[in-house]
Amino acid sequence: MENLAQKADFLKNQYTKVLAGIDADTPRKWGKMNVQQMIEHMSDYVRIASGRSVLPPVTPEENLSRVQAFLESEKPFRENTPNALMSEDPTPTKHATKQDAINELQSEIDHFFTSYEQEPGRAIPSPFFGVLDFNHQVQLLHKHSTHHLRQFGLDY
């Protein structure tokens, strides 16, 4: 896991600004979500990383060391990486505008960082990667966020 401080800074201070610069009608390069659905999807996963949402594990115990090794690597998620927690069709948007979705995402990101500042040693279960500390959560959120930026043509 390289440059965790830079990754944390990107998530905390730059990510939603980059998202604001993506036109809502930008075509996806893969997958089924549109820009706003992707932003709302990311809010869901930041909530998981902060412990606000708890989902059951989907990765069998015997596979955790393999998926954790991937998480710790700098390898990106592949295009169309399957997600056992998502339905075949994207969830309809819940916000009226893309900016409303971005505002919610920034609020969730702020809560994520605050929750770990208030309880530095905490570890939160990820449904895919097992129990993760702050550094692993930052690694995962950064990997996930850049995956979806690439989905809409931004090279991060």
CATH code at 142?
A: 1.20.120
Ramachandran sector of residue 154 (left: φ over 0; alpha: ψ -120 to 50; beta: rest):
beta
Any domain includes 89: no
Q: What is the pLDDT of residues 115-129, one digit of tens each?
A: 999 999 999 999 999
Q: Is residue 63 part of a domain?
A: yes
In a domain, 37, yes or no: yes
pLDDT band at 156 (very low <50, low <70, confident <90, very high): confident
Which pLDDT belongs to residue 74? Answer: 97
pLDDT tens across 47-94, in order?
999 999 999 999 999 999 999 999 999 999 999 887 877 788 888 999
The mean pLDDT value for 104-122 works out to: 97
Q: What domain range includes position 127?
A: 4-81+103-151
Provide the number of structural domains found in the chain. 1
- What share of the chain has pLDDT > 90, as a percent? 89
Q: What crossing angle do the helices spanning 35-50 and 98-118 adopt, rounded to 10°?
A: 20
How many residues in total does the chain contain?
156
- To the nearest whole number, what is the mean pLDDT of the chain? 95
pTM: 0.95
**Would residue 86 count as lying in a domain?**
no
Residue 9 domain flag: yes
Average pLDDT over residues 103-110: 98
Query: Tell me, what's the pLDDT at 89?
Result: 84
In a domain, 98, yes or no: no
Spatial neighbors of 140 by CB under 8 A, at least 6 apart, are 49, 71, 126, 129, 132
Q: Is 19 part of any domain?
A: yes
Does residue 14 sit within a domain? yes
Mean pLDDT to the nearest integer, 19-34: 96
